[in-house]
Structure 1
Amino acid sequence: MITGAVLGASLAIVPADTARADAGDFIAGAIIGGIVGANAKKQRSSTNRTYRKKTYRSTIPSTQQGRSIQASLNYFGFDAGSVDGQLGRKSRNAISQYQAYLGYPVTGQLSAFEQNLLISSYNRAQAGGYAVQQQVAATPDGTRGLLKTYRAEMAGQSPAGVPAPQTTIVAAPQPAPQPVPVPSTTVAAAPLGAAAGLAAAVAPSTGLPNFMGAGTQASLASHCNTVSLITNTNSGFTTLASMSDPNVAINEQFCLARTYAIAKSEELVSQIQGFTPDQIAQQCEGFGPAMKDYVSSLSLKPRDAVVADVSSFILTTGMSPAQLAGTARICMGVGYRTDNMDVAVGSALLLYAMGEGVYGELMGHHLSQGFGPAKRVDMATSWYDAGLAAVDAGAAAVFVPGQPERTELIRAAAQRMTNGGAAGNLPQPQPASSTGLPTFSISE
């Protein structure tokens, strides 16, 4: 049972001012205990002069992602102006210059891959120290040249004309070592997928690192970076006519859905006043422990049984359907952005259980690829069918609405993948947790 103690016994729930989303679908606000309650009270007591002041402020939302983009552009010599998180005309011009430099279509709008390359390259350059200075000095393009260097390395290529820093070690002659017998150890390495991460753990008895059984989840963000790189290399997304590998098509659509979920979340977050995106992300972390068991059960129980469990949980939250749906949309994008699959998949489960069948697609993706719940291609089928059936019945598309053949592409790819797929290994169920949920209010 989610109780008032979870959010703090002294925190009162007070409706916040609302702002209509650009798409006109929702009225977004926020209710997070005393933080937003105090802010709402302050807004209600503001004078008309305060509101007149607001009309002179920029209407462009300021986001943490915007600040990261601007800082990255400025570092590589594409002048985005002050780092205020507002992607205005100057930032768009800088994005266009960045796209032109790397040979991408000049749109002024970053694709998911272009954004990931830009920000990850900036973070890598910042952490690289003296080695990065050597690389910059070795290329005629200066810091910009790092972008092409890092992109080539992501593609497994050696960048032309950019020598790697070298260190020469002069060793004095040494006598030939005598052979020393060592104990023989045989390690049977299980096959790892392209997106599987290494889980470095220390064996308690030997102190030796163990990379084979620590169980750290693979990163969906890293996986989607790889998918985007392959898609760009192959000159575009898979279509029904060009599909040769159904798994490639599914992964492209999976990562597109993730991108759309993040974008929708950021759109709603920008309309919430009274706290920062980082504060919202911290609140959304509460979704993870509360939904962890339901996410794990996806690979253990039939779809109807999972939905029944989640529906029972919804009744214990004490939140209205509109409020819970708004919270889920916000936290789903936060979960994808922070690579927290319990938050992301748990939010999608809540939306599905409340009647939004199109989100069944996401559970199908997660089960077919093994991000969050254990990989179960066989159990992904019913979730794909449910999501596609909702679209067939007239439900509005929430992911990539401008792609006309998307439904049939996923249908064909899922059927082909299921026919040739196999169930993955099942994890042990995790113990239940009673962490509470954050509360964001979004109503029709």
Structure 2
Amino acid sequence: MPADTAQADAGDFIAGAIIGGIVGANAKKQRTKTYRKKTYKKKTYRPGLPSTQEGRNIQASLNYFGFNAGTVDGQLGQKTRNAVSQYQAYLGYPVTGQLSAFENNLLVSSYNRAQAGGYAVQQQVAATPDGTRGLLKAYRAEMAGQSPAGNQGQTTIVVAPQVAPQPAPTTTVAASAPIASGLAAAVAPATSLPSFMGAASQASLASHCNTVSLITNTNGGFTTLASMSDPNVAINEQFCLARTYAIAKSEELVGQIQGFTPDQVAAQCAGFGPAMKDHVSSLSLKSRDAVVADVSSFVLTTGMSPAQLAGTARICMGVGYRTDNMEVAVGSALLLYTMGEGVYGELMGHHLSQGFGTAKRADKAVDWYQAGLAAADSGAAAVFVPGQPERTELIRVASQRMNGAPAVPSFPQPQAASSTGLPTFSISE
């Protein structure tokens, strides 16, 4: 019998972190402090957050651009961190809830510039479908040395190293080549010697996606079926979109975990790397069915319920992408796929086609893409960019053209009982 899709939330992460340390009585403790008066009535208090002018500037800027930070009181609490996460996701940066120096400067300076711009800014806001948020992309483009007019003509792009979480060399698209046709040279991972042991690429996916975001903005928006001229451009855009959605979902679930900070959760998720390393490496060496069979055997050794394991994997996948730890990110996606969530096959296709976290194998990427697309065709709910109606067909056509195939055959959704050896699970909401 096919396995039912395991649905899980943040609570399942606490009950089922496979590395240990997030179970037990401490997981239920609140981070509030208590004291007793002589009347023995228990009172609860929360320490006040410091109020700073810098905090007020950040909150005012976030509110202006439509990221609700609440009252401008200078106290950078959870609501402000949620607004920062939305701001980072909108611009394609790693969703951490904490502003880097570059992100802070872009946000506040853009707000100050908009306030001083008068009627000209109002006209600019009215001309963009994103409203005031569109100013952020326009001002960032100017900071990066791009023409504010977008992709009219040919443009030289200089990517600021501060955008990436790790220092990266300046990347330039030659002014003599159109932006779209130059994407492969600008964002493809560095070529390396062939590896027969499935060694992982050391390139930074976060830096790669920052470059993709800049080029997408310069070209006037995301590639569509009608406008696609380079399938690699479309694949890279959808890869980075999926990464952003995975980070945002993880942050949402982490916010529901009581008694643990995001850093503590990330430390637990780091254990996914050693546990899943061999399975991730085998993606470039073995067939899809063989990889799934191996991961199925691993699942049975964890002693966890499907909901517990799925909740842990859903959180740790976003943590892996946020921290640029591909073994954690890909390993988590592999677990979700093996447990019956076929749409995650798309991620393995992306990693194999672009060479992040595993050796670059476009031939093996095809099988994973087809499996993910088949799950979507069979009615599985979209987990990435659900509001983009043509996304499935866009990935289908782009993956076909990248591999020179005239058509993509349909694969059935993974059958846990027959192909992976997993038992059939039924999880209530």
Judge same fold: TM > 0.5, yes or no. yes
Distance 2:43 2:375 in 1: 45
Deviation, 1:116, is 2.9
Q: Which residue of 2 aligns with 1:279?
A: 264
- Are 2:235 and 1:218 equivalent residues in the alignment? no
Tell me which residue corresponds to 1:82. 74
Q: Structure 1 unaligned runs (5+)?
A: 1-23, 63-68, 96-107, 129-135, 159-191, 200-213, 421-441
Find the counterpart in structure 2 of residue 304 from structure 1: 289
Residue of structure 2 in register with 1:116 after alignment: 93
Partner of 1:176: none
The code of the aligned residue for 1:112 comes to A
Give 1:259-274 correspondences, 5 Å limit.
Answer: 259-274=244-259
What aligned pairs does 1:96-245 form with structure 2 within 5 A after superposition?
A: 110=87, 112=89, 114=91, 116=93, 122-124=100-102, 151-152=141-142, 154-155=144-145, 194-195=186-187, 217-245=202-230
Measured at CA, do residues 276 and 404 of structure 1 come closer, stay the same or move farther in structure 2, by a change above 3 Å?
Answer: same
Following the alignment from structure 2 to structure 1, what is the Cα–Cα distance between the partners of residues 82 and 371?
41
The structure with the largest alpha-carbon Rg is 1
Provide the identity percentage.
68
Cα pair 2:8 2:308 within 8 Å, conserved: no
Aligned equivalents of 1:266, 1:228: Cα separation in 2: 21
Instruction: Give the Cα separation in 2 of the matches to 1:71 and 1:348.
Output: 39
Q: Does 1:380 align with 2:361?
A: no
1:416 to 387, 393, 401: 401
> Which residue, 224, 239, 264 being the options, matches 1:254?
239
DSSP-derived class of the 1:116 partner: coil
Q: Deviations over 1:403-432 (max 9, x none)?
A: 111110000000001118xxxxxxxxxxxx
* Whole-Å separation in 2 of the counterparts to 1:118 and 1:394: 29
- Let me know the Cα RMSD of the aligned residues: 4.5
Contact 1:70 1:91 in 2 (8 A): no
Amino acid aligned to 2:288:
R
- Out of 28, 36, 54, the position equivalent to 2:11 is 28
Q: 1:406 aligns with which of 391, 396, 420?
A: 391
Q: Which amino acid aligns with 1:375?
A: K
Which residue pairs with 2:176 in the alignment? none
Does residue 317 in structure 1 map to residue 302 in structure 2? yes
Q: Which residues of structure 2 form unaligned runs of 5+?
A: 1-6, 35-41, 117-135, 149-183, 192-198, 406-426
Instruction: Decide whether the 8 Å contact of 1:323 with 1:443 is kept in 2.
Output: no
Aligned-partner residue type, residue 26 of structure 2: N
Distance in 2 (CA, whole Å) between partners of 1:258 and 1:219 is 13
TM-superposed CA distance for 1:216, in Å, is: 6.3
Tell me the residue number matched to 2:331: 346
CA distance in 2, matches of 1:315, 1:390: 23
3-state SS of paired residue (1:87): helix
Per the TM alignment, residue 152 of structure 1 is displaced from its structure 2 partner at its CA by: 4.0
User: Using a 3 Å threshold, how does the CA distance of structure 1 residues 322 and 154 change in structure 2: closer, same or farther?
Assistant: same
CA distance in 1, matches of 2:245, 2:373: 17
Task: Call closer, same or farther: CA 1:403–1:311 in 2, change over 3 Å.
Answer: same
Answer yes or no: is the 8 Å Cα contact 2:28–2:259 preserved in 1.
no
SS in 1 for 2:276: helix
Distance 2:217 2:323 in 1: 24
Query: Does 2:321 align with 1:331?
Result: no
Instruction: Give me the whole-angstrom Cα distance separating, in 1, the residues matched to 2:279 and 2:243.
Output: 20
Aligned equivalent of 1:37: 24
CA contact (8 A) 1:294 1:306 kept: yes
Question: 1:329 Cα shift?
Answer: 0.2
Counterpart of 1:238, as a letter, is: T
The amino acid of 2:93's aligned partner reads N
Deviation of 1:113 (Å): 5.3
Structure with more relative contact order (C-alpha pairs < 8 Å, separation 6 or more): 2
Q: Which amino acid aligns with 2:243?
A: R
- SS of 2:78's partner is coil
* Structure 2 CA distance for partners of 1:255 and 1:217, relative to 1, 3 Å: same
| 1:86 Cα deviation after fit | 2.3
Distance 1:251 1:53 in 2: 53
TM-score by length of 2: 0.61
2:351 to 366, 389, 399: 366
1:39 shift after superposition: 2.9
1:85 deviation in Å? Answer: 3.7
- CA drift of 1:194 comes to 3.0
State the distance in 2 between where 1:337 and 1:257 align. 12
Closer/same/farther in 2, CA of residues 273 and 307 from structure 1, 3 Å limit:
same
Aligned length: 312
